[in-house]
Amino acid sequence: MTACLQSGSSIAFSLLRTSRTISRSACLPCIYAAPAGIMLWCLNVRNGWIADTERLTLHAMSNDTITLWRPVGPVELRLIQEAGMAAFPPRLPEQPIFYPVTTEEYAVKIARDWNVPQSGSGFVTRFQVRRNYLDGHEVHDAGGKAHREYWIPAEDMDAFNAAIVGEIEVVREFG
């Protein structure tokens, strides 16, 4: 046990190698003290009781991410929520490609004009992805320069989800 530099709480951590990203808020000095690419379990101990447990994968602390958006319907949003807002669900057999888009405007158009008529509601999610992961994928024009998206093969979804930094946020809602 050691004292947390930020909160003064007693903490214990155990470091485990992992490629899965599950990020939550945590004590920044604890995060900076651990090496990148390591899973940190931070047990906050207060008055002899474990108050909470934080689990996250640490990445090199830099701003080397790209912001992407994804329009989703209510079923996909529920699956994202079940994953703790940390991952997108696997693709269905009839969905061989995952299409995150490069602008909020394009995501709004799809959520409003396609998801709402199809399922009654549409949502726009925003998230950060490590640039070094996206460097291995081309940006495609899907009907013009205003409609740009990445094409992530379904079999790469685990790697894509591992490259997400932070939480997936719902930024717009329609329907």
Higher-confidence position of 138 and 12: 138
Cα→Cα distances 60→35, 51, 129, Å: 8, 28, 13
Query: What are the residue boundaries of the structural domains of the chain, listed by start?
Result: 2-57, 65-174
Contacts of 36 (CB under 8 A, 6+ apart): 58, 59, 60, 61
Q: Is the pLDDT of residue 13 over 70?
A: no
Residue type, 146: A
Q: Could you confirm whether domain 65-174 is CATH 3.20.170?
A: yes
Q: What pLDDT is stored for residue 170 in this prediction?
A: 98
Query: Tell me, what's the pLDDT at 5?
Result: 38
Cα separation, 55 vs 26, in Å, equals: 9
**d(C-alpha 71, C-alpha 170), whole Å:** 9
* Confidence band, pLDDT 50/70/90 cuts, at residue 100: very high
Residue 145 has a pLDDT of 84
Mean pLDDT for the stretch of residues 54-70: 62
Query: With 50 as the cut, is the pLDDT of residue 54 above it?
Result: no
Please give the pLDDT value at position 63.
55
Report the alpha-carbon distance of residue 152 to residue 87 in Å, rounded: 14
Q: Which two tokens stand for residue 116?
A: 């709402």
pTM, entire model: 0.66
What share of residues in the chain are helix, strand, coil (percent, to 5)? 25, 40, 35
Residue of higher predicted confidence among 16 and 110: 110
67 pLDDT band (50/70/90 cuts)?
very high
Tens digits of residue pLDDT in 146-162 = 899 999 999 999 999 99
